[in-house]
C-alpha cells in the first residue's frame, strides 16, 4: 500500500530509512515553502511598522497563532510562541515557581523528559518545595492510582508528560487533571510527543498549561508553544524582558502587555512561527486520527516480527504510540546504532534526554525506533532486515 503523504517530504531519499521522528520530524514541502516564502518575499519585522510588508508578516504570524489555537481549542491570546517545548516548560517553571515555598509539593514522574523534570527540580531547590514521584507500574506506566497515592493537600503543581518519549505510553491526563484541580493544584502537561497524533481540547481537559515543539509536528526548529489559561497567564510576570512585551515604560513605571505578548520579548522567530502555522494546516488536512492509525499499523506490523527475533530485548512491548525502545542482547547501544547508521537506518541511541527512565529500566542506554505519518512498510522491512543482520554481525564478533 502506497503511503499517500510520503511524496510531500523531500528529505526522504531512496536507501535512507528515517526512524528518528520522536526526536525530530521531517518537514513537508508546504512548510518549507511557507518559511522560504517569508524570507524571500518579506523578511521584515512584525508588530512594529505600518508599511505593507510588515502588516503582511504580522498577519501571517498571527494567523499561525490562530491555527495553533484551533488545533487544541484554545483562544489565540492563550498561545505563547516559544523556542520549543523546553523553553515553554521552563517559562512556566520560572514564572509560576515563584509562588511556591517550603512545604509545597510538585508531582512529577520518572517518565519525564529532562525538559519536563529539570525546570521543576530547579524550582524545588530554589523555593524549598519538594518533588514527589508518581510510583510507576511494573512496566513503567503512570496510572491514576499511582497519581492518587502522591496527591495531597500540599500538591501545588502537577508536571507530567502526555506521551513518554522513551516508552510511548499515554498518560491518563483527563482524570489526573480533574483530581489535581479539585486539590487546587495547577497542571503542566508536556505534549511534545502527543500533539501530532492525539486530539487535544484544552477546554474539555481543563488543563492549565500545555507545551509542545514545532519540530516534532512537521514544523520548523526554533519554535514551540506554551498554552496557558488566559487568567493564569496574565497573573504571571514575564521571564524575559525587552522590546514589544510592554505597553508603557518610564523611569518610574512599566506596564506589561497582556498575554501572550508579555512573554514574547524581542524579535521572535517569525519564519518558524509561520512555518508552524503551515504544519498545523497540514496536520489538520491529514487528520490526527489518520496519523495515529497509520503509526499504529506500522508499529504492529513491525513489532509482530521484531518480537520473534532472538537476540534482543524490547522494553515497552505495550507501547501506545508506536515507539520501539530496545537493545540487542549484549551489544552496547552505541555499537548497534553505528551498524544501523552504516546501513542507512537512522535510529536514536542513548538515554533520549530522559535518564530517569533508563534508571527505572535498569539500563545504561537503549535504541529507539519511531514512526511518523511519512514512514512506510518499506521502512519497517528495512529496519527488520538490518536488525536481523546486526544480530548476526555482533554475534559473529562474539558480543
Partner 1 sequence: MAQLENLYREIILEHFKHPRNKGLLDVSGARSYRYKNPSCGDDVTIQTKVEAGHVVLCRHEGTGCSICCASASVLTETMLGLPVAKAEKTAKAYVAMVRNEPFDEDVDLGEAEVFQGVRLFPARTKCASIAWLAFLETIKEDE
Tell me how far the alpha carbon of residue 375 is from its chain's centroid: 19
Kindly state the number of chain residues that form the binding site for partner 1, as judged by CB under 8 A. 19
Which among 244, 231, 215 is positioned nearest to 31, based on CA atoms? 215
Q: Please tell me whether residue 393 binds partner 1 under the rule CB under 8 A.
A: yes
Residue 151 contacts residue 107 (beta carbons within 8 Å): yes
Half-sphere exposure in the Cβ direction for 123 (13 Å, CA): 32
Q: Which residue, 276 or 386, has its beta carbon nearer to partner 1?
A: 386
* Residue 332 near partner 1 by CB under 8 A: yes
Task: Show the cell assigned to 139.
Answer: 512496566
Residue 293 touching partner 1 (CB under 8 A): no
Of the candidates 179, 365, 377, 395, which one interacts with partner 1 according to CB under 8 A? 365
In the complex, the smallest distance separating the C-beta of residue 350 from partner 1, rounded to whole angstroms, is 5
Residue 377: CB atoms within 10 Å: 14
Using CA atoms, how far apart are residues 287 and 164, in angstroms rounded to an integer?
22
**97-105, 120-128, 156-164, 330-338 -> range binding partner 1 (CB under 8 A):** 330-338
In the complex with partner 1, the residue whose CB is nearer, 60 or 337, is: 337
Which of 149, 385 has the CB closer to partner 1?
385
Three cell numbers, residue 54: 510588515
Contact, 200 vs 227, CB < 8 A?
no
Round to whole Å and give the CA distance between 222 and 273. 9
**333 counts as binding partner 1 under rule CB under 8 A:** yes
Strands of 209-213's sheet, edge to edge?
79-82, 224-228, 209-213, 186-190, 155-161, 105-108, 130-133
- To the nearest whole angstrom, how small is the minimum distance from the Cβ of residue 215 to partner 1? 18
Give residues with Cβ within 8 angstroms of 253, minimum separation 6: none
Peptide bond into 260 cis (omega under 30): yes
| CB neighbour class for 125 (10 Å; exposed up to 12, middle 13-18, buried from 19) | exposed
- Give the whole-angstrom CA distance, residue 66 versus residue 79: 8
| Residue 325 binds partner 1 (CB under 8 A) | no
Nearest approach in angstroms of CB 333 to partner 1 is: 6
Is 113 among the residues that bind partner 1 (CB under 8 A)?
Answer: no
Q: Which residues on neighbouring strands pair with residue 326, listed in sequence order?
A: 314, 367
Q: Is 70 in the site for partner 1 (CB under 8 A)?
A: no
Rounded to the nearest whole angstrom, what is the least distance from the CB of residue 241 to partner 1 in the complex?
A: 32
Q: Which is nearer to partner 1, 86 or 375 (CB)?
A: 86
Provide the mask over 335-364, with x wherever binding to partner 1 is found by CB under 8 A and - wherever it is not.
x-xxx-xx------xxx---x--------x
Q: Is the separation of the CB atoms in 207 and 189 below 8 Å?
A: yes
Counting contacts by CB under 8 A, is residue 334 touching partner 1? yes
Question: Is the Cβ of residue 42 or residue 356 nearer to partner 1 in the bound state?
Answer: 356
CB closer to partner 1 out of 62 and 364: 364
Say which of 353, 369, 373, 380 is annotated catalytic. 353
Q: Does 213 bind partner 1 (CB under 8 A)?
A: no
Q: In the annotation, is 353 catalytic?
A: yes
Residues that bind partner 1 (CB under 8 A): 332-335, 337-339, 341-342, 349-351, 355, 364-365, 393, 397-399
Active site residues: 353
Amino acid at each position: 500500500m502506497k503511503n499517500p503523504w510520503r511524496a510531500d517530504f523531500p528529505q526522504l531519499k531512496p536507501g535512507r530509512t528515517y526512524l528518528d521522528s520522536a526526536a525530530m520530524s521531517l518537514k513537508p514541502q508546504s512548510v518549507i515553502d511557507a518559511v522560504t516564502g517569508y524570507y524571500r518575499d518579506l523578511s521584515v519585522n512584525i508588530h512594529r511598522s505600518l508599511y505593507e510588508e510588515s502588516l503582511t508578516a504580522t498577519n501571517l504570524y498571527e494567523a499561525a497563532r490562530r491555527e495553533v489555537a484551533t488545533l487544541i481549542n484554545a483562544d489565540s491570546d492563550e498561545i505563547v510562541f516559544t523556542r520549543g517545548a523546553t523553553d515553554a516548560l521552563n517559562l512556566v517553571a520560572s514564572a509560576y515557581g515563584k509562588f511556591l515555598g517550603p512545604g509545597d509539593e510538585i508531582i512529577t514522574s520518572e517518565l519525564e523528559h529532562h525538559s519536563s523534570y529539570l525546570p521543576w527540580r530547579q524550582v524545588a531547590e530554589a523555593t524549598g518545595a519538594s518533588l514527589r514521584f508518581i510510583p510507576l507500574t511494573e512496566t513503567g506506566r503512570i496510572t491514576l492510582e499511582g497519581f492518587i497515592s502522591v496527591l495531597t493537600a500540599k500538591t501545588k503543581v502537577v508536571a507530567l508528560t502526555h506521551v513518554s518519549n522513551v516508552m510511548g505510553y499515554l498518560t491518563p491526563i483527563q482524570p489526573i487533571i480533574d483530581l489535581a484541580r479539585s486539590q487546587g493544584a495547577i497542571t503542566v502537561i508536556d505534549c511534545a510527543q502527543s500533539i501530532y497524533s492525539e486530539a487535544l481540547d484544552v477546554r474539555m481537559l481543563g488543563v492549565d498549561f500545555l507545551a509542545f515543539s514545532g519540530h516534532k509536528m512537521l514544523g520548523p526548529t526554533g519554535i514551540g508553544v506554551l498554552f496557558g489559561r488566559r487568567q493564569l497567564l496574565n497573573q504571571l510576570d514575564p521571564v524575559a524582558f525587552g522590546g514589544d512585551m510592554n505597553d508603557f515604560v518610564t523611569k518610574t513605571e512599566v506596564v506589561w502587555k497582556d498575554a501572550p505578548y508579555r512573554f514574547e520579548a524581542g524579535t521572535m522567530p517569525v519564519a518558524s512561527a509561520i512555518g508552524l502555522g503551515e504544519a498545523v494546516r497540514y496536520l489538520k488536512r491529514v487528520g490526527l486520527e489518520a496519523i495515529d492509525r497509520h503509526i499504529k499499523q506500522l508499529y504492529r506490523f513491525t513489532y509482530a516480527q521484531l518480537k520473534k527475533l532472538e537476540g534482543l530485548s524490547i522494553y515497552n512491548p505495550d507501547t501506545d504510540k508506536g515507539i520501539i525502545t530496545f537493545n540487542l542482547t549484549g551489544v552496547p547501544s552505541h555499537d548497534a546504532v553505528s551498524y544501523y547508521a552504516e546501513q542507512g537506518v537512522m535510529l536514536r541511541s542513548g538515554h533520549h534526554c530522559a535518564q530517569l527512565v533508563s534508571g527505572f529500566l535498569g539500563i545504561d542506554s537503549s535504541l529507539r525506533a519511531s514512526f511518523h505519518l511519512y514512514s512506510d512498510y518499506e521502512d519497517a522491512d528495512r529496519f527488520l532486515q538490518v536488525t536481523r543482520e546486526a544480530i548476526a554481525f555482533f554475534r559473529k564478533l562474539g558480543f
